[in-house]
Structure 1
Amino acid sequence: MFMSPSTVSSSRRTGALKRVLQGLTLSLLCAAGSAHAQSHPFGSHHQAYHPSTLRVSAGQAAADSATSNFYWQWKSRYVEPGCQPGEYRVRASTGDGAHVVSEGQGYGMLIAAMMAGQDVQARTIFDGLHRYNRRHPSQNNPDLMAWAQDSSCSDILDHDSATDGDLDIAYALLLADEQWGSSGAIDYASEATRVLNAIAASNVNPTTRLVNLGDWIKWPEDTKYYYATRSSDWMLGHFRSFIGRAGADWSQVLSAHQTLIETMQNRYASSTGLLPDFIINTHATPRPADANFLEAPHDGSYSWNAARVPWRLGIDAAISGDTRSRDAASRISRWIRGKTGGNPSNIRAGYTLAGRAIEPYNDMVFMAPFAVAATTDSGGQAWLDRLWNEIVSTAPTEDYYGDTLKLLSMLCVSRNWLTP
């Protein structure tokens, strides 16, 4: 919701009084803005990327402009007030009755922290998203968020957490502390520590050091799922930023995921590098999940969850330059570049690990994350440029998932991503 300044007009006012009032208004606006001043405004490119990371040929100014323009479209479609004063939520409308999901709340917090300086409401939105999250605690660990609510803000579909939302929320709180400090109404640093401790207690398998599916996973009640993990939750850049912070030995967590990525790519996708939505048997011989393991017939394929993997792996490689991350991300990029003949229109919505298309159509959910991986692909400059042009020229899909992944990917490729 946008607030417009009030206008005052009267033919009886003198020009001098008008100038006094205008000066007072400007002073008040500047004071309000300074209260929300950010350390790293959008477009400042504070975050250094690795020297080998590719840039789009369109140029930095054009990339910033395209990302900002799409942000305003995204915000107008998906950011809305919550059910209590001072709350905000990201409208997901997933089709299973969930109007809001913790994944979307985490995405919204990431976006708000990175758009600070471009949007004067960024901190207000961030704080509102956080307030909403705190009003919806998981029934298992109240320091994590219940993963789904209906349009009336009632928790539905169990009251458990989902690991991806938890991780993005923790990371975003660290970004907020970096952007605005923690001396205001919300102590972002303390809140991040609280969530990180909860993630370590409820979302990290103590044996494998891999993230689980959510805080509902218990031993021995959930033997089917206890040694399972979702590839789209492998947020290598988050784990890297968590090192030295509360909760866990995050360096072990990072290494465990990189080792599993190498195992899965070499053993099950040697020609493609693709990862499946879900991986099971992680304590022994990891393998792709069977059909309908948790969500869908393609749980063991590169499908609607794993579509985020090129983004998650790609942004860690693009910033850190870590060899293991770069090898994993560029391997996927080289394959899809060859598979499509360098034409983004030939991307399809899902693949088997061997590279056979699952659906006959393209979708932004799959296309946008490939652009992040393309920045790590030394031979992929033309491919990156074609992906970027296609992404920028595509109108909003009116689908929360596709539009949000598009915006997050644009933040990465335009070099507006931040690390705490």
Structure 2
Amino acid sequence: MRRRSILPGLALAAALVSSGALAQSTSRTGGAAPYRYPCAQSITANQAAANEQLRQKYELWRASRLSYEGTHARVKADADFTYFDDDGTEQQLPQGTISEAQGYGMLLAAYMGDRKTFDALEAYRRAHRNAKGATPWVIRADGVVADSGAASDADQDMAFALLVAHRRWGGYTEPLNELLGTIRTHMVVPEGSAHAYLLTAGDMPLQYWEVTFPGSMAPAWYRAFAAHTGDTFWLEVADKSYQYLTSIDLNPSYANAATGLLPDRSRPDGTLDADPESHRFSWNAARAPWRLASDAAWNCESRASSRVDRMNSFFHGGGPGRGPTGIGAVYRTSGAFLDDSLYGGPDRSPWFYGPLTSAAMLSTNQGYRQGMWMETLRMTDFSKYGHELGLLGLMLASGNMHDPLADPRRSVDDFESGNSTRWWTYADSAGSTLATAMVWPAAVGHGVRVTYSVMNWAGFGVTLNENWSAYRALEFWVEGTGSGNPIYLELEDADGELFVHRFVDDFTGWRFASVPLNTTAFPRRRDYQPATINNGMTLTNVRAIRFQPWGRGSFGVDGLVLVP
């Protein structure tokens, strides 16, 4: 390993940009640019701040809503949670598990990159399948199944979470394909039947199927399933979803032409269900904006964006139940705001704000966009069941919930293998030391903590030999301890030239870093170059990156990702 003297190291510190906290350093070098989808952009102007806010919310969710049983984890409901059984009788379910929440939890863990939590949630799902391979809708806290029937939206979300996990880490083909087979066989109307390819409410036999839930339609999910399996069946399911939503629009009883609002449930042909409460945009239909915004943002689907546009226009308007601080829980599809006390209100809940915030990403009204982001962020505290929808809405709206088969970002290392064997350490022979240890939880999931005592040189690096020319920035999480020590991130390019980004550990806790891949953020090293060539940063074959601390202390690293 190359020897570096103490004096050149100090000269380098003086030659580079002035020291400061990591957040200042990333801002000085360009910061995190807003994330983009093919047909949308992050709702927040400060991407780095949004990412830190999401991470903090995720950790709060993990601490508040997860219950561990050995290696299994489930998402628990409130101590006073109740549900209605098939007979319409209200039943108590203190801290039990509803399958939809388990699906939301799996989505959160997969998108946040927390494999240990994801695997624990998936283990619980596999251990509690019903005879058809689906997830029972209601499971008591003691593990007893209270309702063995499945909710289709829950299982499709779990399948989509498995797809996200498989594309991120690999190894989930078998459970993913099994669950897709269950959904196809038991939850989608078969070809040749009336309403073929329409998602049903659950896994009941078709002769008992009477209503469908518009808020369950997830065409973006189905497109991803089609790409994964190569089976056009799922494209038929996506198209049928829009046909079904159109049948609702064509029914004058809903009077939703101006609002785009959908009923909680309807008959499969879009006609009204006998229950008048089902004609309202409320707790079930509220999930539709999130699901449709995904298809509009990822796939530029006009049938989704046109409805989302109408919803945005309605909710950012004036009047009762409208505007970022006025959205409630019960509306007629025509837009009339009903007293939230109908369902035990008042209800200003992340259950509604999260999906509508994801839809607001497509709005041109900047005040509404920012107001929805701030309100959802403020109220999503996981004090109640369903707040997961608040965080999922924030994730989509911030550009962090991407199409798993089309996301252009590339992981360098998220350490979710539970080890750092790819990385090597080095130190001079004059007494400097540096050691690494895996930690969980880190920023998200597993990470690495580096403990060092360096008076000459030492580091923590990985050999890559990767083409980074298509990427604009390297993003990662760093845990500071307030040591005041400088830390250098060194990049060795295709020619063997060394470029280094410097920041100072003058903060505590995890911070998000976005460092542009250019010589403003990574100036060429002045103290030492192993190559005589000097032709600028060449990213066609990045040979290695290294973290090199100075002084005595510790810091953490997690989730290194390249962004285009």
User: Within the alignment, does 1:89 sit opposite 2:84 as a pair?
Assistant: no
Change (3 A) 1:368 1:160: same
In 2, distance between residues paired with 1:46 and 1:154?
45
Q: Give secondary structure in 1 for the equivalent of 2:189.
A: coil
Among 232, 236, 240, which residue is 2:215 paired with?
232
List runs of 5+ in structure 2 lacking aligned partners. 1-30, 83-90, 341-345, 405-564
User: Within the alignment, does 1:331 sit opposite 2:310 as a pair?
Assistant: yes
Q: What is the match of residue 39 of structure 1?
A: none
Superposed displacement of residue 256, structure 1: 0.8
Superposed displacement of residue 46, structure 1: 12
User: Within the alignment, does 1:155 sit opposite 2:142 as a pair?
Assistant: no
Q: Is the 8 A contact 2:54 2:394 kept in 1?
A: yes
Question: What one-letter code is carried by the residue in structure 1 that aligns with 2:397?
Answer: V
Superposed displacement of residue 376, structure 1: 1.8
Q: What is the match of residue 379 of structure 2?
A: 394
Superposed displacement of residue 386, structure 1: 0.9
Q: What do the CA deviations read for 1:252-298 (whole angstroms, capped 9, x no partner)?
A: 1111111222332343311211000111042xxx223222xxxxx62
Q: What is the match of residue 284 of structure 2?
A: 305
User: Within the alignment, does 1:251 sit opposite 2:235 as a pair?
Assistant: yes
In 1, distance between residues paired with 2:327 and 2:314?
11
Q: What is the match of residue 161 of structure 2?
A: 172
Question: What one-letter code is carried by the residue in structure 2 that aligns with 1:280?
Answer: R
Q: What is the match of residue 522 of structure 2?
A: none
In 2, distance between residues paired with 1:81 and 1:57?
34
Q: How does 1:177-256 map to 2 (within 5 A)?
A: 177-182=166-171, 188-206=172-190, 207=193, 208=195, 209-216=197-204, 218-220=205-207, 222=208, 225-226=209-210, 228-246=211-229, 249-256=233-240
In 2, distance between residues paired with 1:256 and 1:395?
33
User: Within the alignment, does 1:144 sit opposite 2:134 as a pair?
Assistant: yes
TM-score (norm. length: structure 2): 0.58
In 1, distance between residues paired with 2:77 and 2:295?
26
Q: What is the match of residue 10 of structure 1?
A: none
List runs of 5+ in structure 1 lacking aligned partners. 1-42, 117-121, 183-187, 292-296
- State which drifts further: 329-338 or 355-364: 355-364
User: Within the alignment, does 1:363 sit opposite 2:349 as a pair?
Assistant: yes
Q: Give secondary structure in 2 for the equivalent of 1:357.
A: coil
Question: What one-letter code is carried by the residue in structure 1 that aligns with 2:362?
Answer: T
In 2, distance between residues paired with 1:125 and 1:89?
10
Superposed displacement of residue 409, structure 1: 0.6
Q: What is the match of residue 37 of structure 1?
A: none
Q: Is the 8 A contact 2:280 2:333 kept in 1?
A: yes
Question: What one-letter code is carried by the residue in structure 2 that aligns with 1:144?
Answer: A
In 2, distance between residues paired with 1:315 and 1:219?
29
Question: What one-letter code is carried by the residue in structure 1 that aligns with 2:214?
Answer: S
Whichever of the two has the greater Rg, that structure is 2
Q: Is the 8 A contact 2:34 2:45 kept in 1?
A: no
Q: Is the 8 A contact 1:54 1:381 kept in 2?
A: no
In 1, distance between residues paired with 2:248 and 2:383?
34
In 2, distance between residues paired with 1:135 and 1:412?
30
Q: Is the 8 A contact 2:34 2:44 kept in 1?
A: no
Q: What is the match of residue 27 of structure 1?
A: none
Q: Which has the higher strand share?
A: 2
Q: Give secondary structure in 1 for the equivalent of 2:391.
A: helix
Superposed displacement of residue 368, structure 1: 2.0
Aligned residues: 347
Among 308, 312, 329, which residue is 1:349 paired with?
329
Change (3 A) 1:281 1:238: closer
In 2, distance between residues paired with 1:324 and 1:263?
13
In 1, distance between residues paired with 2:73 and 2:257?
44
Q: How does 1:307-322 map to 2 (within 5 A)?
A: 307-322=286-301
Q: Percent identity of the aligned residues?
A: 28
In 2, distance between residues paired with 1:340 and 1:67?
31
Question: After TM superposition, where is structure 1 displaced by more than 6 Å over at least 4 residues in a row?
Answer: 43-47
In 1, distance between residues paired with 2:299 and 2:235?
14
Question: What one-letter code is carried by the residue in structure 2 that aligns with 1:264?
Answer: I
In 2, distance between residues paired with 1:44 and 1:106?
30
In 2, distance between residues paired with 1:273 and 1:47?
27
Q: What is the match of residue 65 of structure 2?
A: 78
Change (3 A) 1:271 1:265: same
Q: What is the match of residue 22 of structure 1?
A: none
User: Within the alignment, does 1:69 sit opposite 2:69 as a pair?
Assistant: no
Superposed displacement of residue 337, structure 1: 1.2
Q: Is the 8 A contact 1:109 1:126 kept in 2?
A: yes
Change (3 A) 1:45 1:54: closer
RMSD, aligned CA: 2.3
Change (3 A) 1:126 1:340: farther
